[in-house]
C-alpha cells in the first residue's frame, strides 16, 4: 500500500474478544495475488461469531420438530426453542408481561407490528428511516416526520407532531436506534418520553443497535423492539419482535396456520377458529428453531463478553478510521445529526470525483475490501445527505469519473464490529487515499448496473 495517511496512535488493545468466522479467508485481486478478505459490510450482514457457530454445530445433531413431536428430540428442541425466547427476554430486559415473538428479520417484525396495530392507530415515522421501518405503515394513517439536523431537534419534531395527537387514538412512533447509513445513535429514550406523555407508544428499529450497544427495553422506555439475528452474528434466518402483549393478543394472527390455531371446527359456512394466545399466535408454521437458538447464542455471547469492552474497542476503531478518512481531502463522511452525534461502527462517505459504485468495485477488486455502495434501503435519507434532487437515478454503475462539481448519487458504506481487525480499517483508509490520489489501476465497465473489472 503506497499511501498511509497519519493515523492517531492509541493505547487501545485491538485484541479480538469475540472472534468471528472468516478471519482467514483470502480473496483474489484483479491485479494478481490474494489478500485476506476485509469484511466491512457488517451493517448488511455480520460474519458469524465462532461461539454461535459452535453452539449451532453442537445442537444440530439433536435437532427435532418443535411443539408437535412426542419424541425425545422434539421435546429437547422445544425446550431449547423456549429457552432461547427466555434468553432474548433477559437480553432485552423485558417487562414481565412482554411477549417475545420470533420472526424472520427486522423487516418481518416491523411488518408484523403494522399488522397488529389497533384500528385507527396513527403512526409517526421519520422520513429518514430504513425502508423496513418506513414502508410497512402504508395502509395505516401516518405522519411523516421531517429529517432533523441534531439529536435534540429529533425530539422536538416528535413533540411538535404529537402535540396534535388525540390521546384517545392509538398512536405509535417508529424510530431507529442507530442509522444504517450514518451509524448515528438516535435519542430513543427522550423520544419515548415525549411519545408516552402524548399517549403514544414507541417501536424501536434496533437492527443496527443490538450488535453494538446494550438494548434494554425498560431503560429506553420503548414499547416494542425489532431486530435481526443476521446483523448480530447469527445469520440463521431469525429475527425478533418483543414488547407489550395487549396489541399482540388482540390482533388477528400475523399468519394463519398450524401453531397459531388452538382449535379449528368445520361449520356450515366455513371454519371457526380459536387462535392461540401468547407468542404462538403470531408464529404460525414450523418455527425456525436453529435460527432462534443461534440468535439466543449471540445474545449470550454479547452479554458475557460485556458491551463495555466491545464498545471501547469499536469506539477506538471508529475514531481511528474517521481520523484517517478526515485526512483525505477528497472524502466527505455523511452525517445527519451533526458530527458530534455518537455513532456505532457504520461510516458512509463519498469521494470527490468518484462514482461510489466504481469506488466500491475498485476497493473489492484491487484491495480485497468488501464494502457496500448505494442508498442502503434508505433512499430519502441518502438523497437528503447527498443533496440530490429527488428524481435522480437511484443506482449508477458507470465507472466514468464524475465531472467537476457533479454530485454522486449514492455513497460507499464501511461497517464493522466484533472481530474486525484494525488492519481491515487501516487498509480501507490507505486504499481510499491511494485511489483518491492516483485513481484505479484497472479498467472497469458497467454490467447490469454494477461496475465490474474488465478481464
Ligand atoms: N432497519 C435497519 C436500520 C437496517 O439496517 C436494516 C437492514 N439493513 C433493516 C431494518 C432490515 O433488516 P432485515 O433486512 O434483517 O429485515
| DSSP-derived secondary structure for 86-151 | HHHHHHTT--TT-EEEEESSHHHHHHHHHHTPPTT-EEEEETTS-HHHHSTTTTSEEEEEPPPSSH
**With contact defined as beta carbons under 8 Å apart, do 49 and 295 qualify?**
no
* Residue located nearest, by CA, to atom 12 of ligand 1: 106
The reply to whether 96 and 27 lie within a common domain is no
User: Which set of grid coordinates corresponds to residue 98?
Assistant: 412482554
Give distance in angstroms: CA of 104 to centre of ligand 1: 11
pLDDT tens-digit readout, 213-229: 999 999 999 999 999 99
- Alpha carbon of 76 to ligand 1 centroid (Å): 31
Cα–Cα distances (Å) from 155 to 106, 151, 176, 272, in that order, read 23, 7, 13, 46
Q: Is residue 2 part of a domain?
A: no
Q: Does residue 6 lie within any of the structural domains? A: no
pLDDT digits (tens, 9 = 90+) for 274-309: 999 999 999 999 999 999 999 999 999 999 988 999
Given 304, 325, 343, the domain boundary residue is: 304
Q: Which of 57-71, 395-409, 439-453 has the lowest mean pLDDT?
A: 395-409
Confidence (pLDDT) at 113: 98
- What pLDDT, on the 0 to 100 scale, is given for residue 215? 97
Q: Is residue 420 one of the residues assigned to a domain?
A: yes
Residues 327 and 383 in one domain: yes
Q: Is 50 exceeded by the pLDDT of residue 11? A: no
Query: Where a domain ends, among 283, 304, 325?
Result: 304
Boundary residue ending a domain (304, 334, 354): 304
| pLDDT tens, position by position, 138-173 | 999 999 999 999 999 999 999 999 999 998 999 999
CATH number at residue 417: 3.90.1150.10
Per-residue pLDDT tens for 235-282? 999 999 999 999 999 999 999 999 999 999 998 889 999 999 999 999
Claim to verify: residue 143 and residue 244 sit in the same structural domain: yes
- 74 shares a domain with 92: yes
pLDDT band at 38 (very low <50, low <70, confident <90, very high): very high
Q: Minimum mean pLDDT among 164-178, 236-250, 335-349, 379-393: which range?
A: 379-393
Tell me, yes or no, whether 256 and 290 share the same domain. yes
Q: Which residue has a Cα nearest atom 5 of ligand 1?
A: 180
Among candidates 141, 187, 191, which has minimal Cα distance to 166? Answer: 141
pLDDT for the residue 391: 54
Buried b (16+ CB within 10 A) or exposed e, 4-43: ebebeeeeeeeeeebebeebeeeeebbeeeeebbbbbbbb
Domain assignment of residue 4, yes or no? no
Is the Cβ–Cβ distance between 215 and 206 less than 8 Å?
yes
CA of 417 to the centre of ligand 1 (A): 16
Could you tell me if 272 and 141 lie in one domain? Answer: yes
In this structure, which residue's CA is closest to atom 8 in ligand 1?
44
219 and 100 fall within a common domain: yes
pLDDT at 389 over 90: no
CA 287 to chain centre: 22
* Ligand 1 neighbours (beta carbon < 6 A): 43-44, 105-107, 130, 132-133, 176, 180, 205, 207-208, 228, 230, 377
Mean of pLDDT over the chain? 93
Reported as a pLDDT band with limits 50, 70 and 90, residue 396 is low
* 220: alpha, beta or left? (left if phi > 0; alpha if psi -120 to 50): alpha
| Whole-number pLDDT of residue 397 | 65
Domain that holds residue 174: 51-304
* 33 and 167 housed in the same domain: no
Q: What is the dihedral of CA 79, 81, 84, 89, to 10 degrees?
A: -100
* Residue 299 annotated as catalytic: no
In the chain, % of residues over pLDDT 90? 85
408 pLDDT more than 90 = no
Q: Confidence class of residue 311 from pLDDT cuts 50, 70 and 90? A: very high
Task: Determine, yes or no, domain membership for 414.
Answer: yes
Q: How confident is the model at residue 399 (pLDDT cuts 50, 70, 90)?
A: confident
Q: Is 368 among the domain residues?
A: yes
Is residue 417 a contact partner of residue 345, using CB atoms and an 8 Å limit?
Answer: yes
Report the CATH number that the domain containing residue 270 is assigned in CATH. 3.40.640.10
Residue 103 in domain = yes
Which entry of 174, 299, 377, 396 is annotated as an active-site residue?
377
Per-residue burial over 409-435, b = 16 or more CB atoms within 10 Å of its CB, e = otherwise:
bbbbbbbbbbbbbbebbbbbbbbbbbb
With beta carbons less than 8 A apart as the criterion, state whether 177 and 208 touch.
Answer: yes
The reply to whether 124 and 30 lie within a common domain is no
Q: Residue 390 pLDDT > 70, yes or no?
A: no
Lowest mean pLDDT among 194-198, 382-386, 402-406: 402-406
Total domains present in the chain: 2
Q: Is the pTM of this model over 0.75?
A: yes
Tell how far the Cα of 7 is from the centroid of ligand 1, in angstroms: 32
Q: Which atom of ligand 1 has the smallest separation from the CA of 205? A: 1
**335 shares a domain with 213:** no
Q: What does 418-436 look like in DSSP terms, one character per residue? A: TT--HHHHHHHHHHHHHHH
270 and 312 in a single domain? The answer is: no
Rounded CA gap, 361 and 311, in Å?
Answer: 30
Cell numbers 411538535: residue: 160
9 has a pLDDT exceeding 50: no
Closest by CA position to 426, among listed 314, 310, 325: 325
Q: Percentages helix, strand, coil for the chain, rounded to the nearest 5?
A: 35, 20, 45
Query: Does 352 share its domain with 214?
Result: no
Block residue for cell numbers 387462535: 275
Could you identify the atom of ligand 1 that is nearest to the CA of residue 179?
3
Amino acid at each position: 500500500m503506497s499511501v498511509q495517511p497519519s493515523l492517531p496512535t492509541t493505547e487501545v488493545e485491538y485484541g479480538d474478544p469475540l472472534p468471528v468466522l472468516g478471519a482467514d479467508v483470502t480473496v483474489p485481486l484483479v491485479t494478481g495475488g490474494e489478500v485476506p478478505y476485509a469484511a466491512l459490510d457488517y451493517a448488511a450482514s455480520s460474519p458469524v461469531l465462532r461461539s454461535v457457530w459452535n453452539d449451532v454445530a453442537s445442537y444440530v445433531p439433536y435437532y427435532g420438530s418443535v411443539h408437535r413431536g412426542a419424541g425425545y428430540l422434539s421435546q429437547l428442541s422445544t425446550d431449547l426453542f423456549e429457552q432461547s425466547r427466555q434468553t432474548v427476554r433477559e437480553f432485552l430486559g423485558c417487562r414481565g408481561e412482554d411477549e417475545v415473538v420470533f420472526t424472520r428479520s427486522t423487516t418481518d417484525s416491523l411488518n408484523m407490528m403494522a399488522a397488529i396495530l389497533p384500528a385507527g392507530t396513527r403512526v409517526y415515522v421519520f422520513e429518514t428511516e430504513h425502508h423496513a421501518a418506513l414502508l410497512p405503515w402504508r395502509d395505516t394513517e401516518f405522519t411523516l416526520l421531517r429529517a432533523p439536523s441534531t439529536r435534540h431537534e429529533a425530539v422536538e419534531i416528535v413533540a411538535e407532531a404529537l402535540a396534535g395527537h388525540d390521546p384517545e387514538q392509538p398512536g405509535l412512533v417508529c424510530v431507529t436506534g442507530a442509522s444504517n447509513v450514518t451509524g448515528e445513535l438516535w435519542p430513543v429514550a427522550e423520544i419515548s418520553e415525549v411519545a408516552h406523555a402524548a399517549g403514544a407508544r414507541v417501536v424501536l428499529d434496533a437492527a443496527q443497535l443490538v450488535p453494538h450497544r446494550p438494548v434494554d427495553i425498560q431503560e429506553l422506555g420503548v414499547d416494542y423492539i425489532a431486530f435481526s439475528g443476521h446483523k448480530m452474528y447469527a445469520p440463521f434466518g431469525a429475527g425478533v419482535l418483543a414488547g407489550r402483549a395487549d396489541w399482540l393478543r388482540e390482533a388477528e394472527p400475523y399468519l394463519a396456520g398450524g401453531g397459531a390455531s388452538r382449535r379449528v371446527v368445520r361449520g356450515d359456512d366455513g371454519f371457526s377458529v380459536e387462535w392461540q394466545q401468547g407468542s404462538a399466535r403470531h408464529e404460525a408454521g414450523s418455527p425456525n428453531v436453529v435460527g432462534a437458538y443461534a440468535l439466543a447464542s449471540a445474545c449470550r455471547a454479547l452479554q458475557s463478553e460485556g458491551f463495555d469492552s466491545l464498545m471501547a474497542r469499536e469506539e477506538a476503531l471508529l475514531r481511528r478510521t474517521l481520523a484517517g478518512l478526515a485526512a483525505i481531502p477528497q472524502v466527505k463522511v455523511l452525517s445527519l445529526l451533526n458530527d458530534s452525534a455518537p455513532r456505532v461502527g457504520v461510516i458512509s462517505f463519498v469521494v470527490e470525483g468518484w462514482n461510489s459504485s466504481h469506488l466500491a468495485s475498485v476497493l473489492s477488486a484491487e484491495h480485497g475490501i468488501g464494502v457496500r455502495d448505494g442508498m442502503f434501503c434508505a433512499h430519502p435519507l441518502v438523497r437528503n445527505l447527498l443533496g440530490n434532487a429527488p428524481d435522480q437515478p437511484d443506482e449508477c454503475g458507470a465507472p466514468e469519473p464524475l465531472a467537476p462539481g457533479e454530485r454522486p448519487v449514492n455513497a460507499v458504506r464501511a461497517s464493522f464490529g466484533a472481530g474486525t481487525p484494525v488492519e481491515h480499517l487501516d487498509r480501507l483508509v490507505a486504499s481510499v487515499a491511494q485511489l483518491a490520489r492516483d485513481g484505479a489501476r484497472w479498467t472497469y465497465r458497467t454490467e447490469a448496473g454494477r461496475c465490474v473489472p474488465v478481464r
